[in-house]
Structure 1
């Protein structure tokens, strides 16, 4: 393999593997569910369980907000456009203790909210794997309305074994 091609291959692998290096980790609290970061900047979209007096708000079980790390970690609500077209959670189904959601940007991944060991958690199914979700990383092209999601990496723990797991999803 010529040196030039080997170097380009190494460079490509380096950026794929270490593309998330030095990303900030949002502070966790007892209501934290998961967060989303993307390849365009460090801003982070956070999802917490929405409790009032220790009871789940069944009309709006998940609270979404963003942390603008590019602006001194300022915490803001999602903009109406972000909520409607991208990072907002859309409630699909609800019964007594089970809630199903999807992100506004995609119907291909269903988020399930459940209470386990007195704590609310989000899990997703991908193929045959069930994952308690901690975070998602979106590899994206473009900005604004012309944004295209190339792939998504799901980070969390296996639903059955509780072992750390990482899954790359190409079809999001």
Structure 2
């Protein structure tokens, strides 16, 4: 089932492999959690905390997801139904006040955590290769046909040391 979802996702959004150099950085917002880019083109999928007031997050929809379409000059677009359901959408579960566990539609086996509170800005953590990372962005690498993902780079800060970190996650087939 997971391989079928990954196949559909990457058939829809990834048709070739390119280097990551030259990719645009989306404009920063106060609620920015992270963004995802892929090897097909520069279009970017952006994840923002849905802040109601101050540092309170909406329980009904804690994360807002949209796409920046750089093919159309960098305009903000809503996700299509297919993108939301099969690829870039999120499923969130509230675990404490202003804390949510969530997964991405394309890979529900990988858990992420959204936290908001205290002095810290909203942030997402993910456990990759034995390290807890405060996530900034992800980059998906694909095969030459664009029919699957071979690995994902996770960029952010090591939650223990605060140092910048990049971890490569190899997608098991």
TM-score (norm 2): 0.82
| Other-structure match for 1:140 | 142
Deviating above 4 A after TM superposition, structure 1's stretches of 4 or more consecutive aligned residues are none
Partner-residue secondary structure (3-state), 1:130? strand
User: After superposition, where does 1:12-161 map in structure 2 within 5 Å?
Assistant: 19-54=19-54, 55-115=56-116, 117-141=119-143, 142=145, 147-161=147-161
Gaps of 5+ in 1: 1-15
- TM-aligned CA deviation for residue 165 of structure 1: 0.2
Partner-residue secondary structure (3-state), 2:43? strand
Gaps of 5+ in 2: 1-16
Q: Deviations over 1:49-104 (max 9, x none)?
A: 00123331011100000000111101001111100000001114533232100100
Structure number with the bigger relative contact order (C-alpha 8 A, sep ≥ 6) is 2
Q: How many equivalent residue pairs?
A: 153
TM-score (norm 1): 0.83
- TM-aligned CA deviation for residue 128 of structure 1: 1.7
- Aligned-residue RMSD, C-alpha: 1.8
